[in-house]
Structure 1
Amino acid sequence: GVRSVADVERLLKSGADKVSINTAAIARPELITEIASRFGVQVLVLSADARRVQGGVRTPSGYEVTTHGGKQSTGIDLLEWIGQACERGAGEVLLNSMDADGTKAGFDIEMLQAVRPVCPVPLIASGGAGSVEHFVAAAQAGADAVLGASVFHFGEITVAEVKAALSAAGFPIR
């Protein structure tokens, strides 16, 4: 629901370190520049909900940005959007594969590998985590950070297990 510089200011004054935007940035890309200019790029996380193109939608990369939990198409090419958002001042990108989200079948490795070359800022993989091996695969594909939800909420795996697997694979852990 972050839609303005004033919203970001209110959140930062309430103790937030970072703020994520998605739909508002799609509606008005200048918002990225405004937030980054006012508060610094380290504050701004671009949340990109994306999926493989379906039906009549065509994008150069084969991936499209969506809104409303992946239900609404934008027709915007994912790689072009991330490149533009980073140029405008996004300090991190949270990439959520709507195709993989909730499946527990693993992160969308192909999407991560496609995004990594156009994303000069930290890239966070989201959507599809089901095992510790999935987290390692995402890091190997270029993710700087990995996000899991239900696997932790339901106790299927622990954060400690993920950290141990990433460490064993040679990734620095804190």
Structure 2
Amino acid sequence: MSKDTLAKRIIPCLDIKNGRVVKGVNFVGLQDAGNPIEVARRYNDEGADEITFLDITATLEARNTTLAMVRNVAKEVFIPLTVGGGISSLEHIYDLLNAGCDKVSLNSSALKNPDLITQGAKRFGSQCIVVAIDAKRRTNGKGWEVYTHGGRNNTGVDLEQWAKESCERGAGEILLTSMDCDGTKAGYDLEQLRAISSAVGIPLIASGGAGSKEHILQAFLNGADAALAASIFHYQEIHIMDLKQYLKAHGIAVRI
């Protein structure tokens, strides 16, 4: 079955800092958006297809994602849960899957040690391994470079090249965040989505820039298999079932 025939997924993203859900613009200016367990439970009840839970300062603070919090959230949600932040070994992956998440998201650690993708996919299955990529357009406007450590470090690595390598190493999905669009609510980077969707043969999750139902529709029309968003859902500007009805009315296959 080609990836185009599958239902498109709506994924609220919970960025976690100091045990709270936070949201910023272009990776800075973080504001509190609630208790992770309560927010996750609400999304489960509102019809989200999955939830992504990112401990955004774990890598920077050189620590693992909080297992207790993952356990508590996993008890409350009955849809797939992806967890990322500070995951740097097969043991971390095992512990998180054991704590109740369905997939892990690898970002800085995968760039530092690409074998982690290969080994993780071999040991736990590709369906468990999501490679998260934070990318910013080059200053000359040609293509994008990959950043790590919550968007603080420019690796100089080409986005398309890294997406292809992640795919070849066994990643089951790519979670692509446009740093230029993140938190702006001005829409996803559609050029970036088209480029990466045509470069890889695995599902692509669009992240960074959702501000309206139309933006999410456009992401799906430009190569995304899932749309990840935060502030529009956290602040209840858009309700998930309203969004799904809108998408369905525009010919997008979604789970109602």
TM bucket (normalised to shorter chain) is over 0.9
Instruction: Name the % identity.
Output: 51
Mapping for residues 132-147 of structure 1, pairs under 5 Å: 132-147=213-228
| 2:153 alignment counterpart | 72
Mapping for residues 20-169 of structure 1, pairs under 5 Å: 20-54=105-139, 62-169=143-250
| Contact 1:125–1:143 (CA under 8 A) maintained in structure 2 | yes
Deviations 1:48-72 (A, max 9, x none): 01110137xx9xx611110122221
Residue 156 of structure 1 deviates from its aligned partner by: 1.0
**In the alignment, residue 181 of structure 2 is paired with which amino acid?**
A
3-state secondary structure, aligned to 2:229: coil
Residue 12 of structure 1 deviates from its aligned partner by: 0.7
Segments of 5+ residues of structure 2 without an aligned counterpart are 1-85
| 2:83 alignment counterpart | none
Aligned partner (choices 86, 94, 97) of residue 12 of structure 1? 97
RMSD: 1.2
Instruction: Return the alpha-carbon distance in structure 1 between the equivalents of residues 179 and 149 of structure 2.
Output: 11
Higher RCO (CA-CA < 8 Å; seq separation 6+): 2
Instruction: Return the alpha-carbon distance in structure 1 between the equivalents of residues 146 and 246 of structure 2.
Output: 31
| 2:68 alignment counterpart | none
Deviating runs (4+, > 4 A) in structure 1? Answer: none
Residue 168 of structure 1 deviates from its aligned partner by: 1.2
Query: How many residues matched?
Result: 170
**In the alignment, residue 180 of structure 2 is paired with which amino acid?**
D
Instruction: Return the alpha-carbon distance in structure 2 between the equivalents of residues 66 and 47 of structure 1.
Output: 11
Instruction: Return the alpha-carbon distance in structure 1 between the equivalents of residues 181 and 149 of structure 2.
Output: 16
**In the alignment, residue 145 of structure 2 is paired with which amino acid?**
E
Segments of 5+ residues of structure 1 without an aligned counterpart are none
Query: Which one has the bigger strand percentage?
Result: 2
| Contact 1:69–1:98 (CA under 8 A) maintained in structure 2 | no
Instruction: Return the alpha-carbon distance in structure 1 between the equivalents of residues 161 and 213 of structure 2.
Output: 31
**In the alignment, residue 5 of structure 1 is paired with which amino acid?**
L
Relative to the length of structure 2, the TM-score reads: 0.65
Relative to the length of structure 1, the TM-score reads: 0.94
| 1:2 alignment counterpart | 87
